[in-house]
Structure 1
Amino acid sequence: MTSPARAHRIAVLAGAAILAAGSIGRAADRPQEGKEATEYELLRAKFGVHRAQLKQIESTEDKIAKKREMLPEYDDYIYGVLSAAEDSGLALQDEIFANLMVWQLDVGNFSSAFTMAEHILEHNIDLPTRFKSSPATFLIDTVSTAAIKAYTLSDEFPVEHLQRASALTFTHDVFDQARANLHKAIGLLLMREADRLMDNKEASVSAPSAARREALKHLRRAYELNTNCGVKKEIGVLTRLLKKEPVEPETNGETDAPADTSDT
């Protein structure tokens, strides 16, 4: 539960530090003195205690449960940082904020993670040094892996999460393998959605075919980016199914999103 008073205080302190740093295009280094610096060091100490507690837990599931329990304690800070950036249009480098975004992904709080990721990507905030990939690649990898795992286990996973990750990272330089997995995940979920539409008597007759065509576009794009991404079987299945269906007129553009030129 966010405390408006504390969140406002954090936003004011962060805003003052941001304006003092005055960096445009990339988040500025944090101030080493002043109230904001003191506030941040106190938070760093608290976060260090929480990380130490997590290191004592061997079970990944138990670690995730513990992170889910800890995260609400940082709601005020997250809200304050985002508010300060919204007011100023600027930001500071923030290892704690980046760590908390990772935690949000770990526990499956994708909506919160995307909001934080948007801030990180917009202001070129670095991930902690233990992460070897860029924020954009990390975001795509994490969301795609979660989606493919859910698909394999026949669990639910909203395709909208993948589409949001795609939109957020659209203009960022990302490894082809990561982008391929994103397209693969979208394609797989759309394949499953097409099967559901076939059984849905309220769906339009053309809905399953449209979903399959969209799925095929994503799976083919995945194969273009990485021939070893494991989609050849699905491409074959969809191709055979669509050959049996009436040909629909082509529309302008393969997807609703602008053409992704970062992969070429």
Structure 2
Amino acid sequence: MTSPAQRHRTRALAAKASAADGAAPAVVGGIFGQMMAKLTQDRRRLHDIKSVERKIGLKRELVPEYQDYLDGVLSGNAGQPDEVLTTLMVWHIDVGAFARGLELADYVLRHGLPLPERLKRNTATLLLDEVAGAIAGGAVLKHDEAMLLLQEVARLVDGQDAPDQARAKLHLAIGKTLAEQAGDEPRGPLLEMARAAVAQLRRAVDLHSSVGCKKLIEQLERKVKNAGSSG
């Protein structure tokens, strides 16, 4: 088990390496090299596993082992290219640790860091596909938590280039979350929430006609109409 002193040293070395003026992260203290070696070993372990479920389980075990390094890089805030950080951003999203994944994504986007070439997507597209897409599929059960995450995704991808099909997932997720919050018989503020849900879902359809929410739009519009006629 890592001691508090070792954890502090890892954070300090990572911050110092990240902040080195124009230097490669591996130069100062060797912490980046150490973490890259660990990442390479962990990737081999993942590669040997066929089951996606077991891969996710292993990633869930591994991500805590990188936290001190990641904290150090974030505090250094120098924006050096860092495959460890970008890979761990993806792993956090893979295991459903969306808040931490978005914290790392904020750093990646602010500094314009490239993702590993094998991902074949930019950061904005990945966030739309994997975070908004997962929430649209019901990955976050608490509506307030889901909405906070979606608002952060929207902030991060604002002005970023991404396919319309991917961006539609954000509007779909927001629309679904608002619809669930509005309930079956929306009144007052909940009625406005239902109307906002319709607007979000219609925008999703505009961006990608096969996004899969036309029936939900019809149901919401009936609820809004019934609420108006009974109000």
**Under TM normalisation by the shorter chain, which class is it?**
0.7 to 0.9
What is the letter of the counterpart of residue 224 of structure 2?
L
Match runs of 1:244-259 below 5 Å: 244-246=226-228
1:246 aligns to what SS in structure 2? helix
Give me the CA root mean square deviation.
Answer: 2.2
Decide which structure has greater helix share.
Answer: 2
| Long gaps (5+) in structure 2 | none
2:140 pairs with 1:148: no
Query: Which residue is 2:149 aligned to?
Result: 161
1:237 aligns with 2:225: no
Matches within 5 A, 1:92-103: 92-103=80-91
- What residue in structure 2 maps to residue 210 of structure 1? 192
Cross-structure match for 2:28:
35
| Secondary structure at 2:191 match in 1 | helix
- Cα gap change, 1:47 to 1:191, in 2 (>3 Å): same
Deviation at 1:4, TM superposition (A): 2.3
- The whole-number CA distance in structure 2 between the counterparts of 1:196 and 1:164 is 27
User: How far is the alpha carbon of 1:171 from its aligned partner?
Assistant: 1.7
Q: Measured at CA, do residues 216 and 8 of structure 1 come closer, stay the same or move farther in structure 2, by a change above 3 Å?
A: same
CA distance, structure 1, for counterparts of residue 45 and residue 166 of structure 2: 32
1: CA distance between counterparts of 2:155 and 2:26?
Answer: 37
1:8 Cα offset (Å):
1.3
Aligned match of 1:51 in 36, 43, 66? 43
Deviations 1:173-192 (A, max 9, x none): 11111111110111112111
Q: TM-score, normalised by structure 2?
A: 0.88
Q: Which residue of 1 aligns with 2:116?
A: 128
Instruction: Identify unmatched segments of 5+ residues in structure 1.
Output: 22-29, 199-204, 248-264
> Could you say if the C-alpha distance between residues 82 and 197 of structure 1 is closer, same or farther in structure 2, counting changes exceeding 3 Å?
farther
2:16 corresponds in structure 1 to 12
| Alpha-carbon offset, residue 31 of structure 1 | 2.0
Q: What displacement does 1:42 show?
A: 2.0
